[in-house]
A and B are shown apart, each in its own frame.
Chain A
């Protein structure tokens, strides 16, 4: 059997961008240092050479103004992919995102749309300190009108980016910069992953691990640890936070009767709480234990190598707690 075609997570997103820009002239890229510089994480490398300055557009360091302009351009026929260099900086564009992009369709009774993708890189672990390491995906998910996706694999990164660009509304696309060099199978050519569909990454019967973005890989490691204790864990990746594939999550939990939610964003008021509550509402009678949730510690992400790992969910601790859950000790 031939080995499958592979690409890195970074390269997979690029494949989607190349594909969609070749397919549709209205797709344009906007952001800081994305043009001839190719992006600070090389995440736009090669696009400028092929599509030029008219479609790969460097903006000033004016996230709010430039994003407002992207929204206006989207309302008048363009399909901007707007990049915010660090996920922490979405704070600078929240007004344009929340009060304009998310509401234009509703406020105009569907007469105007905002077909726009906001892509940004998040993720703890780069020794980047408190203002460059946060995963703030819990901010846009609170706002009706925004779709929010967070791929965990190269294939999903490609397929979800293509789907996001083709979507007629605003899609917030969170990439984990710590996954950029992850290499895995990626379908060649056109590849679409529908927004709003979860994927079961590993089947199991004793406990469901619902994991977001990079935490999917942590959850798979936890499942391995649990397997050594004869505990069969199912790992499910929602892939999209809005819309959330509630049916898939609930079906899994009804099968296993236990759930653990794992995320790389802050735990307090985070997406783990929403997912735990949703699962509980829909599968209360099937649950044998309270839903557990793990997120980043509720502290600013520290810089030091000795401190930063402490704020992320730890696979061994997760495995211990999940095992206790299954054995009825929690």
Chain B
């Protein structure tokens, strides 16, 4: 069942990122239901293994751009969850002083350049960041996360060509979460909106090294990311990773809902999994899968994971509390930072 050959420290570090992401997202939905903020927002549940493992593979000075489904990358990178939640609630203490909300969070202290809510926009920025790194002759890499829908945008294809032509140190992580797929599917690709039956064929046409990976398998994703980052650092040019996940039932195309509530003990006790979305929880939930693998590999005990789960929940509860208690931005600041 597993390709997980990770060591204990790495596995637990990825798992920790995944736990924080999961509980952060559950808190976001809860805060929305409570009317603590008004917005359109996007939930990362179901993709934690991809974000957690890719971010684990990066160095401290590497750069990241992401797409509108960004919370997982922010939290998985280790950015302060208090300030992230405060930003989502539009508070002065948020990462961007309430100017960006959920859709545009950035955090320079963690190399987090930008969240582009224009589909595919992050591909240009990540490629540009990689170009900047190459010009400076440093060995950092830039990573651009985007969903499968981005492959419908021309900008992304243009970026592939230039990244390949200039051998830029950029890792494109395409998270194929099937979330946009409302129509018929063939081989994981929505036939109504894309004529290709393999997204990797597009970057591959420019000679970009491509890898397909199970996006719920932390070992496989981590190995792919380590290889990708290594290739970039060695000057071998861009890499495209396509990570497949199965759409989380709560990822309604219109408004997310808490279709499944994480019960980590269910990883070890299948009888606890019930309800209409049992199949997803049983077979596709990356968090439960990682927990099972950690215990099976002997890297952690069940109780240790449950204790970590509890700790992550309390840190996220504190983040929610911090955000709720944070002041709104002062009206006089509305015009600040229009110009540099």
Q: Do A and B come from one complex?
A: yes
Q: Interface of A with B (CB < 8 Å)?
A: 28, 54, 59-60, 62, 64-78, 95-96, 99-100, 103-115, 144-145, 147, 167-169
The reply to whether B124 and A69 form a contact with Cβ atoms under 8 Å apart is: yes
Q: Is the CB of B10 closer than 8 A to any CB of chain A?
A: no
The reply to whether B113 and A72 form a contact with Cβ atoms under 8 Å apart is: yes
**Known interface pairs A105-B339, A113-B340; A69-B104 also in contact (CB < 8 Å):** no
The reply to whether B338 and A145 form a contact with Cβ atoms under 8 Å apart is: yes
CA gap between A261 and B251 in the complex, in Å: 54
Sample of 16 A–B contacts (CB below 8 Å): A59-B162, A60-B162, A62-B162, A64-B158, A65-B155, A65-B161, A65-B162, A66-B162, A68-B158, A73-B128, A76-B132, A77-B132, A78-B135, A96-B155, A111-B96, A112-B114
Return chain B residues, CB-CB under 8 Å to A112. Answer: 106, 108, 113-114
The reply to whether B65 and A72 form a contact with Cβ atoms under 8 Å apart is: yes
CA gap between A70 and B124 in the complex, in Å: 8
Complex: chain B residue closest to A68, CB-CB: B124
**Known interface pairs A54-B135, A106-B338, A145-B338; A70-B154 also in contact (CB < 8 Å):** no
B159 in complex: contacting residue of A69, A105, A167, CB < 8 Å:
A69
List B residues 101-115 near A (Cβ within 8 Å): 104, 106-108, 113-114
B100 in complex: contacting residue of A70, A71, A95, A108, CB < 8 Å:
A108
CA gap between A15 and B161 in the complex, in Å: 33
Q: Is the CB of B99 closer than 8 A to any CB of chain A?
A: yes
CA gap between A259 and B63 in the complex, in Å: 52
Return chain B residues, CB-CB under 8 Å to A62. Answer: 158, 161-162
Produce 1/0 per residue, B308-340, CB < 8 A to A: 000000000000000000000000000011111
The reply to whether A110 and B113 form a contact with Cβ atoms under 8 Å apart is: no
The reply to whether A75 and B124 form a contact with Cβ atoms under 8 Å apart is: no
The reply to whether A111 and B133 form a contact with Cβ atoms under 8 Å apart is: no
The reply to whether A105 and B155 form a contact with Cβ atoms under 8 Å apart is: no
Complex: chain B residue closest to A55, CB-CB: B135
Q: Which 6 A-B pairs have the closest CB atoms?
A: A72-B128, A68-B124, A65-B158, A76-B132, A169-B340, A168-B340
Return chain B residues, CB-CB under 8 Å to A167. Answer: 340
CA gap between A94 and B339 in the complex, in Å: 18
A64 in complex: contacting residue of B104, B155, B165, B339, CB < 8 Å:
B155
Q: Interface of B with A (CB < 8 Å)?
A: 63, 65, 95-97, 99-100, 104, 106-108, 113-114, 116, 118, 121, 123-133, 135-136, 142, 154-155, 157-159, 161-162, 165, 336-340
Complex: chain B residue closest to A98, CB-CB: B118
Whole-angstrom distance from the CB of A106 to the nearest CB of chain B? 5
Whole-angstrom distance from the CB of A328 to the nearest CB of chain B? 41
Whole-angstrom distance from the CB of A50 to the nearest CB of chain B? 17
Return chain A residues, CB-CB under 8 Å to B131. Answer: 69, 72-73, 78
The reply to whether A76 and B113 form a contact with Cβ atoms under 8 Å apart is: yes
The reply to whether B132 and A78 form a contact with Cβ atoms under 8 Å apart is: yes
B113 in complex: contacting residue of A75, A103, A168, CB < 8 Å:
A75
**Known interface pairs A60-B161, A65-B159, A147-B339; A107-B104 also in contact (CB < 8 Å):** yes
Complex: chain A residue closest to B107, CB-CB: A111
The reply to whether A68 and B155 form a contact with Cβ atoms under 8 Å apart is: yes
**Known interface pairs A60-B165, A68-B121, A68-B124; A115-B340 also in contact (CB < 8 Å):** yes
The reply to whether A95 and B155 form a contact with Cβ atoms under 8 Å apart is: yes
Whole-angstrom distance from the CB of B75 to the nearest CB of chain A? 18
The reply to whether A73 and B129 form a contact with Cβ atoms under 8 Å apart is: yes
**Known interface pairs A76-B132, A107-B106, A167-B340; A95-B121 also in contact (CB < 8 Å):** yes
Return chain A residues, CB-CB under 8 Å to B107. Answer: 111
Complex: chain B residue closest to A75, CB-CB: B113
A100 in complex: contacting residue of B96, B116, B130, CB < 8 Å:
B116
The reply to whether A108 and B114 form a contact with Cβ atoms under 8 Å apart is: yes
**Known interface pairs A64-B155, A107-B96; A72-B126 also in contact (CB < 8 Å):** yes
Whole-angstrom distance from the CB of B276 to the nearest CB of chain A? 38
Return chain A residues, CB-CB under 8 Å to B336. Answer: 109-110
CA gap between A113 and B154 in the complex, in Å: 25
A107 in complex: contacting residue of B100, B129, B162, CB < 8 Å:
B100
Complex: chain A residue closest to B94, CB-CB: A109
A109 in complex: contacting residue of B97, B135, B155, CB < 8 Å:
B97
Return chain B residues, CB-CB under 8 Å to A103. Answer: 104
The reply to whether B128 and A70 form a contact with Cβ atoms under 8 Å apart is: yes
Whole-angstrom distance from the CB of A90 to the nearest CB of chain B? 15
CA gap between A67 and B104 in the complex, in Å: 19
CA gap between A296 and B99 in the complex, in Å: 38
The reply to whether B125 and A72 form a contact with Cβ atoms under 8 Å apart is: yes
CA gap between A64 and B108 in the complex, in Å: 25
CA gap between A66 and B166 in the complex, in Å: 12
Complex: chain A residue closest to B104, CB-CB: A107
CA gap between A95 and B65 in the complex, in Å: 17
CA gap between A78 and B134 in the complex, in Å: 11
Whole-angstrom distance from the CB of B41 to the nearest CB of chain A? 16
B99 in complex: contacting residue of A54, A69, A106, CB < 8 Å:
A106
Complex: chain B residue closest to A110, CB-CB: B337
Return chain A residues, CB-CB under 8 Å to B63. Answer: 76
**Known interface pairs A59-B162, A109-B337; A77-B118 also in contact (CB < 8 Å):** no
The reply to whether A100 and B124 form a contact with Cβ atoms under 8 Å apart is: yes
Complex: chain B residue closest to A111, CB-CB: B108
The reply to whether B158 and A72 form a contact with Cβ atoms under 8 Å apart is: no
CA gap between A271 and B105 in the complex, in Å: 34
The reply to whether A75 and B340 form a contact with Cβ atoms under 8 Å apart is: no
The reply to whether A114 and B133 form a contact with Cβ atoms under 8 Å apart is: no
CA gap between A167 and B130 in the complex, in Å: 23
Return chain A residues, CB-CB under 8 Å to B114. Answer: 75, 100, 104, 107-108, 112
Q: A68-B159, A100-B124, A109-B95 known; 18 other A-B pairs, CB under 8 Å? A: A60-B162, A62-B161, A65-B124, A65-B154, A65-B157, A65-B159, A72-B113, A72-B131, A72-B142, A75-B113, A75-B129, A76-B128, A96-B121, A99-B118, A100-B125, A103-B104, A108-B337, A167-B340
